[in-house]
Homo-oligomer: A and B are copies of this chain.
Amino acid sequence: MELGMIGLGRMGGNMAERLRRGGHTVIGYDRDPKISDVGSMEELVQRLPKPRAVWVMVPAGEPTRQTVHSLGEILEPGDVIVDGGNSHYLDDRRHAEELAAKGIGFVDVGVSGGVWGLQNGYALMVGGDDAHVKQLMPIFESLKPEGEYGFVHSGPAGAGHFAKMVHNGIEYGMMQAFAEGYELLKASDVVHNVPETFRSWQEGTVIQSWLLELLNRALEEDPNLERIRGRADDSGEGRWTVQAAVDHAVPLPAISASLFARFASRQDDSPAMKVVAALRKQFGGHPVEPVA
């Protein structure tokens, strides 16, 4: 089918490419005229057959909100907008409601796959009305991995990004579990062959997983991870997971610990630990380390 794609960065560009390989016609718009197929969103809309389908793949937050809003101004009843970015599920609900008032459909899609998606397919978690999801199924079929997995219609608008958010929260916890295990193995003098030990776990163990394969790939390149600083960013979805859990009174100790470990990893000095050091000095006369 024909699809408009707004945002042709790393993710959007690769997805457009996978769709074209799947036989679809993708008209792309990007702020960068060198990679854009059209000069404006208006032109993109004009060139699509009705009912139109436009996939928004721009940075989450204000850019996505503005793009969805602008599209809502120029699309027509029966058209449908897909938000394939990393939006917050509450944004989706607002977008769906606002667009529904104009007769325009809205579908949110949580996309997993990163740099591997072009080749292996993207896992898709979809939220929206049945009719709109059905309308887009040819697109989803081409983007998803082959086989019976990798696609789910999780519920109404917001459900796609909520599911993706939770997926990422689980991912934080799993990564932290491997990270803690690695540090313990390295800190002890017991296991001499740490990379070989991780490598062996790829078969026959309870922890065999894609993340373990990736960790082994990393350890093959750099067996002591000497070339990597122990600093990890977080992309927003881990934060939303913790905040959604707090909103819903769900205990989330391991995933929140994973998020906090990333926060701490980026600090050059810890204000909290200054307090602990200061208190130890006050009550016990324990020496403190001066700031260099």
- Interface residues of A, Cβ cutoff 8 Å to B: 10, 89, 112-117, 120-125, 127, 144-145, 147-156, 158-159, 162-163, 166-188, 190-193, 196-197, 199-212, 214-215, 217-218, 222, 225-234, 239, 241-267, 269-286, 288-292
Contact = CB atoms under 8 A, between A and B. Distances in A.
A259 B257 CA distance: 13
A280 B158 contact: no
Nearest to A258: B254
| Max count, chain B CB within 10 A of own CB: residue among A200, A263, A280 | A200
A18 to B, nearest CB: 12
A261 B204 CA distance: 26
Contact of A203 (B123, B243, B263): B123
A190 to B, nearest CB: 4
A125 B206 CA distance: 13
A137 to B, nearest CB: 14
| Max count, chain B CB within 10 A of own CB: residue among A121, A178, A184, A201 | A184
Nearest to A116: B283
4 closest residue pairs by CB, A with B:
A173-B177, A209-B209, A123-B204, A152-B200
A43 B207 CA distance: 39
A11 to B, nearest CB: 10
A291 to B, nearest CB: 5
